[in-house]
């Protein structure tokens, strides 16, 4: 299968989606989501990308990030996935040390947000994804998205970086 091309020097925000292996709901509890959030934040600091939006669903994740020009987004996502998977297995399946385990699907979806309107559209998608899925009736009820940050609350799992709209 040919490798997908990522365009890392566009100077634009990126909308990224990645899924748990076989779309299993491995991120169903808050502890699993917190593991992902911790390594997302750690990787953000290391690669200095701006986090503009996110939603963590039971079996997938959407991110809106603005990387520093030239930052290889594929490398960033691989690191987030690798670190979070190792920690998840360490905590949830510690006895299966000699077994090949897979937490995330291999690839991710990556879309360059070429305009501010597209960035807003992707942020709105993150806000409403849990409602569309029937997990909550209002976006504010889903702790694991950016909705509450943009509504002015600061007691959220991940802080959002400033962005000029």
In tens, the pLDDT along 103-158 reads 999 999 999 999 999 999 999 999 999 999 999 999 999 999 999 999 999 999 99
Q: What is the model's pLDDT at position 70? A: 81
CA-based end-to-end distance of the chain? 38
pLDDT of residue 11: 72
Q: Which domain holds residue 19?
A: 13-150
Query: Residue 9, Cα to own-chain centre: how many angstroms?
Result: 20
Residue 61 has pLDDT above 90, yes or no: yes
Confidence of residue 95 (pLDDT cuts 50, 70, 90): confident
Domain contains 5 = no
On whether residue 67 sits in a domain, the answer given is yes
Map residue 81 onto helix, strand or coil.
Answer: helix
- Does 4 have pLDDT greater than 70? no
The whole-model pTM stands at 0.90
Task: Please give the Cα distance from 110 to 66 (Å, whole number).
Answer: 12
1 within a domain of the structure (yes/no): no
Is 141 within a domain? yes
pLDDT tens for 67-93 read 987 888 999 999 999 999 999 999 988
Residue 1 has pLDDT above 50, yes or no: no
User: How long is the chain?
Assistant: 165
Contact criterion met (CB below 8 Å) for 110 and 14: yes
Instruction: Give 37's contacts (C-beta < 8 A, 6+ positions apart).
Output: 56, 144, 157, 158
Residue 164 falls inside a structural domain: no
CATH number of the domain within which 128 lies: 3.30.70.1290
- Residue 32 within any structural domain of the chain: yes
Q: Is the pLDDT of residue 31 over 90?
A: yes
Residue 152, φ and ψ in degrees, nearest 5: 105, -5
92 within some domain: yes
**63 pLDDT above the threshold of 90:** yes
Burial label, 155 (beta-carbon count in 10 A; 0-12, 13-18, 19+): exposed
In the predicted structure, residue 102 carries a pLDDT above the cut 70: yes
53 located within any domain: yes
Number of domains in the chain: 1
Does 66 score more than 50 pLDDT? yes
């Amino acid at each position: 299968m040919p490798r997908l091309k990522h365009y890392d020097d566009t100077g634009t925000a990126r909308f990224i989606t990645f899924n748990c292996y076989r779309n299993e709901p491995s991120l169903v509890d808050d502890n699993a989501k917190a593991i992902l959030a911790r390594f997302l934040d750690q990787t953000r600091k290391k690669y200095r990308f701006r986090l503009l939006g996110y939603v963590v669903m039971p079996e997938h994740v959407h991110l809106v990030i603005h990387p520093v020009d030239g930052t290889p987004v594929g490398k960033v996502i691989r690191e987030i996935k690798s670190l979070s998977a190792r920690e998840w297995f360490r905590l949830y399946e510690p006895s299966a040390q000699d077994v090949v385990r897979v937490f995330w699907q291999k690839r991710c979806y990556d879309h360059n947000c070429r305009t501010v309107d597209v960035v807003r559209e992707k942020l709105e998608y993150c806000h409403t994804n849990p409602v569309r899925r029937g997990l909550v009736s209002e976006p504010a009820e889903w702790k694991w998205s950016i909705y509450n940050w943009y509504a002015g609350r600061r007691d959220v799992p991940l802080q959002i970086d400033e962005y000029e709209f």
